[in-house]
Structure 1
Amino acid sequence: MKTAFITGVSGQDGAYLSKFLLEKGYRVTGLLPRRSTTSLWRLAYLGIEDEIELIDGDLLDLPSLIRTIKQARPDEVYNLAAQSFVGTSWQQPITTAKVTGMGVLHVLEAIRATDPGIKFYQASSSEMFGLVQQPIQSEETPFYPRSPYGVSKLFGHWMTKNYRESHQLYACSGILFNHESPLRGLEFVTRKVTDAVARIAAGQKHELRLGNIDAVRDWGYAGDYVEAIWLMLQQTDPDDYVIATGRSTTVREMCKVAFNHAGLNYEDYVVIDPTLYRPAEVDILLGNPAKAKEKLGWEAKTTLEQLIGMMVEADMKRVGCEVANKCKGSLGS
């Protein structure tokens, strides 16, 4: 039985990855920080809350991280923890740099200090491309991050590469493009849209305020992407991979799909709010997943229409449950 240790285990990707690994027969352990209240609603949503071994520790405290890794005795470490909302990174740039950037270095150092044979996965991000230098982004596209979040992710990405080359660690980075699910936080635009659709359909809400709806993104399903994450650590040699669908969609088009699913016209409800524009916009992100397909045998299975439909249905169920006062935190954030 292999053991996996996951930071960010209670997040969207952490929950889906945990479920995937449990089905593969892994013993799954996760880092449980005590700096703030940690919600386990995603693990409960997937029915695996009691199957994860949670270990107290802190990504920003290297001695405690070394202790937790020694306790977990993992074969594989997946670093998914981050301050992951781009908008918040302008309001909290230092916290973002510490958690999303320095946190990666702490995990790498903890592995080097305990067992350099542990395989390591770093959750890099398409936000590192930022002001895109090529119309379609691959592993060879130059980076130009446009937010404190993107800059912090780039630090972690290059540190992972440095430890691979300097200390011969099996260390990979997955450059994941936007990936969504019913477990996405309410602050992210896809979930903001699908939650609003559900509430508008239920008569609880009458408009949806958004910023730049002409921004273009490459959206996939998080449940598909965790398989690619796992596959990276099953290869003979460590490497970095872009994980994406290869399909671009505007926020406007995504809204149309979501509202159509509920029999509504998005133009009747979406209001453009200039205060929601970001200080520096990333206008387009579109990934080239050719390397992942060739080397890992992976490609996205879920279409945007299937994904958004899944999210709208989940939020309609949640809103109905909320109205009936039968939910206990299942709306999550």
Structure 2
Amino acid sequence: MTTPRAFITGVGGQDGSLLAALLLDKGYEVVGVLRREPSAYAEALAPVEGRVTLLEADLLDHAALVASLRETRPTEVYNLAAPSFVPRSWDEPIVTAEFAAVGATSMLEAIREVDPGIRFYQASSSEIFGEPRETPQTEQTAPSPVTPYGVAKAYAHFIAGSYRRKYGMFTCCGILYNHESPLRPVDFLPRKVSHAAAAISLGLEDELVLGDLSARRDWGYAGDYVRAMWLMLQCDQPGDYVVATGVSHSVEELVACAFDAVSLDWREHVRTDSALFRGASELHDLVGDASKARRVLGWEPEVGFRELLTLMVEADLARLQAPAASS
């Protein structure tokens, strides 16, 4: 049998690294695309170092994408590249639109030119639902994005479906809800919390300052979610899938679980600052119904909410203690 070959854009991010590791374990050859030097993604790429062929390419450079696809001849393309920190999309709306929306179109056109038989995964997002018209959300829920990130992701979601319909291409969109791991950067809330809990328990920090503790999200484990990406491209027919736990948790619950992992009372170490509240940009009632993924893909999340926070705190403890152990 021919060895399957995957082409992953955004391989230097949390999802890209975890997906690459999963595919390598399944016997794939993996080509990863980065926008910058590999050293800029050293921490995320550490688990797959030396096992992934890395290319520097820009999604907006269509000719370079075509050349890369012709050179590597993948059987599957996973388009994960896009600015991922949602609040920053208000500061960089043009960049967000270019890479999340135009970049996806550029990749689809490159695939169509090189080999329309390549199977394509587009990283969609619960942000396309914005202030949802129903809860929980399914694949049939009408998109109603409110952030530049959500709007750009909605465009990419629709264009992938358009290429499926117009050209018969095998395109799938994973409508992923919030998913975390120890590979998340610390500017994302769950990692900010896990890092702080670990640092405070070690006496390295004194307090954690957060915004609205009542804000809620449907949080899952990123390792479970990249497995759903792979499963989508193994199906007989292409389609779109909500990937979520179906349960929302408040920021307060998240904080409590993280501090429980180091046997601390979070109320003694956490304070809120109204300046950090998102106000009108805060989204509500985003909870996904992954019934289709369970039914069609046989997918189930394996890591629960409390287990996820414990995993992240333990990873941050190990990171923070590593310098002391080596000195």
The normalised TM-score by structure 1 is: 0.94
- Following superposition, the deviation at residue 274 of structure 1 comes to 1.9
- 1:173 aligned counterpart, secondary structure: strand
- Following superposition, the deviation at residue 207 of structure 1 comes to 1.3
| 1:58-137 correspondence runs (5 A) | 58-137=58-137
For 1:289 and 1:12, the matched residues in 2 are separated by: 22
- 1:38 aligned counterpart, secondary structure: helix
For 1:325 and 1:59, the matched residues in 2 are separated by: 40
- 1:123 aligned counterpart, secondary structure: strand
Runs of 4+ in 1 over 6 A off after TM superposition: none
Q: Deviations over 1:204-231 (max 9, x none)?
A: 2111111122111111111111111001
For 1:137 and 1:277, the matched residues in 2 are separated by: 25
For 2:222, give the aligned amino acid. Answer: A
Query: Where does residue 299 of structure 2 map in the other structure?
Result: 298
| 1:1-333 correspondence runs (5 A) | 1-34=3-36, 38-44=40-46, 46=47, 48-278=48-278, 279-324=280-325
For 1:176 and 1:324, the matched residues in 2 are separated by: 38
In structure 1, stretches of 5+ residues that fail to align are 327-333
For 2:306, give the aligned amino acid. Answer: E
Asked if 2 retains the 8 angstrom alpha-carbon contact of 1:248 and 1:286, the reply is: yes
For 1:51 and 1:122, the matched residues in 2 are separated by: 23
Number of residues paired by the alignment?
324
For 1:67, give the aligned amino acid. Answer: A
Asked if 2 retains the 8 angstrom alpha-carbon contact of 1:247 and 1:286, the reply is: yes
- Following superposition, the deviation at residue 4 of structure 1 comes to 0.3
For 1:175 and 1:158, the matched residues in 2 are separated by: 12
For 2:71 and 2:276, the matched residues in 1 are separated by: 44
RMSD: 1.4
Q: Which range moved further: 2-11 or 263-272?
A: 263-272
Q: Deviations over 1:84-118 (max 9, x none)?
A: 00111111111111111111111101101111110
For 1:95 and 1:209, the matched residues in 2 are separated by: 29
In structure 2, stretches of 5+ residues that fail to align are none
- 2:6 aligned counterpart, secondary structure: strand
Asked if 1 retains the 8 angstrom alpha-carbon contact of 2:126 and 2:175, the reply is: yes
For 1:114 and 1:127, the matched residues in 2 are separated by: 31
- 1:39 aligned counterpart, secondary structure: helix
Query: Where does residue 329 of structure 1 map in the other structure?
Result: none
- Following superposition, the deviation at residue 324 of structure 1 comes to 4.8
- Following superposition, the deviation at residue 322 of structure 1 comes to 3.6
For 1:11 and 1:87, the matched residues in 2 are separated by: 17
For 2:54 and 2:38, the matched residues in 1 are separated by: 15
Change (3 A) 1:37 1:275: farther
Asked if 1 retains the 8 angstrom alpha-carbon contact of 2:163 and 2:169, the reply is: yes
- Following superposition, the deviation at residue 50 of structure 1 comes to 0.2
